C-alpha cells in the first residue's frame, strides 16, 4: 500500500491509503530482457510447446498519434499475444490493434500463468481472443498432457535475480 498524496475535503469517504499495482520485475530469459517476469514465463511456455515467438517485434500505429507494441508475435500462428498482470485500462490499445489486423488474431492474457489443475478443469479462462478467429483453446487444448507439462515448466522456472533493484518508497 502507498500513501495517497492527495488531501481530501472534510467528509469525503475516500481512504487515505490506496492499493498499488505490483511493479513489474525486468527479467532475462533466452537472450531477451522482458519487462516483467510474467512475460518471461509466457516465453518459457511458448518454448516448451515449441511455438516460435518474437518479443516486442515492432511498434504499430493504431490511429492518430497512438501506437501499440505487442508483447509477442507468434509467426507460425499469424497471431500476437499481449500479456498483462492485471487489467489496467491499457487493454484498449490491444483491442484497437486487433481491430486493424487482417487474417491475424491478437490474444490478451490477463493474470498469472494458470495452475495446471485449474487449466485442466476450466481451460484458458485468463486468455481472450480479441479478433474473431481461433480461440486459444483451439491452438493449445487445456487438457492436453503436453500443454499441461509446458504450463508446469513455465510456472516452475526460476529466473536469475536482477543485479540491482532500486527500491522506491512513497513519502
Q: Is residue 145 part of a domain?
A: yes
Q: Which residues, including other chains, have CB under 8 Å from residue 58's CB and lie 6 or more apart?
A: 69
E strand or H helix at 74, and its extent?
Answer: strand 72-74
73-102 residue pLDDT tens: 999 998 999 999 888 877 888 888 888 887
Q: Alpha-carbon distance 40 to 28, whole Å?
A: 7
Q: What is the pLDDT of residue 20?
A: 62
pLDDT of 76 reads: 94
Average pLDDT over all residues of the chain = 82
Query: Does 79 fall in a domain?
Result: yes
Give the integer Cα–Cα distance in Å for 153 and 115.
Answer: 11
- Within a domain: 14: no
Domain contains 164: no
Residue 90 falls inside a structural domain: yes
- Asked whether residue 18 is assigned to any structural domain, the reply reads no
Q: Are strands 54-55 and 17-18 parallel, antiparallel or unpaired?
A: unpaired
Backbone angles phi, psi at 24, to 5 degrees: -60, 145
Measured over the CA atoms of residue 53, residue 140, residue 150 and residue 68, the dihedral's sign is positive
Give percent of the chain with pLDDT exceeding 70. Answer: 80
pTM, entire model = 0.79
The CATH number of the domain holding residue 78 is: 3.40.1350
**DSSP letter assigned to residue 142:** T
For position 165, what pLDDT does the model report? 52
- Quick one: pLDDT at residue 146? 93
Residue 161 lies in a domain: no
Residue 82, domain extent: 27-156
Closest CA to 94 of 105, 108, 111, 78: 108
Q: Which of 156, 123, 126, 151 is nearest to 137 (CA)?
A: 123
What's the rounded Cα separation, in Å, for the pair 46 and 147? 10
Give mean pLDDT, residues 146-150.
94
User: What local confidence, expressed as pLDDT, does residue 151 receive?
Assistant: 94
Report the pLDDT value the prediction gives residue 154, as an integer from 0 to 100: 95
Q: Which residue would you say has higher pLDDT here, 154 or 3? A: 154
C-alpha cell at 91: 487493454
Q: Which residue has the cell 518479443?
A: 55
How would residue 129 be classed by pLDDT, with cut points 50, 70 and 90? confident
Indicate the number of domains in the chain. 1
What's the alpha-carbon Rg for the chain, to the nearest Å? 18
Label residue 19 by pLDDT band (50, 70, 90). Answer: low
Q: What is the DSSP letter of 93?
A: H
Residue 3 has pLDDT above 70, yes or no: no
Q: Per the domain annotation, does 59 fall within a domain? A: yes
Amino acid at each position: 500500500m502507498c500513501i495517497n498524496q492527495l488531501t481530501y475535503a472534510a467528509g469525503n469517504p475516500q481512504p487515505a491509503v490506496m492499493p498499488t499495482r505490483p511493479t513489474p520485475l525486468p527479467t532475462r530469459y533466452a537472450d531477451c530482457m522482458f519487462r516483467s517476469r510474467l512475460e518471461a514465463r509466457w516465453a518459457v511456455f511458448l518454448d516448451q510447446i515449441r511455438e516460435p515467438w518474437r518479443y516486442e517485434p515492432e511498434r504499430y500505429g493504431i490511429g492518430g498519434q497512438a501506437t501499440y507494441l505487442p508483447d509477442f508475435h507468434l509467426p507460425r500462428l499469424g497471431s500476437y499475444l499481449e500479456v498483462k498482470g492485471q487489467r489496467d485500462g491499457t487493454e484498449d490499445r490491444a483491442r484497437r490493434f486487433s481491430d486493424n489486423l487482417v487474417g491475424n488474431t491478437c490474444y490478451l492474457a490477463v493474470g498469472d500463468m494458470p495452475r495446471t489443475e485449474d487449466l485442466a478443469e476450466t481451460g484458458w479462462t485468463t486468455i481472450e481472443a480479441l479478433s474473431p478467429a481461433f480461440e486459444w483453446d483451439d491452438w493449445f487444448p487445456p487438457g492436453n498432457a503436453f500443454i499441461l507439462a509446458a504450463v508446469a515448466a513455465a510456472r516452475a522456472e526460476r529466473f536469475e535475480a536482477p543485479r540491482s533493484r532500486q527500491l522506491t518508497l512513497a513519502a
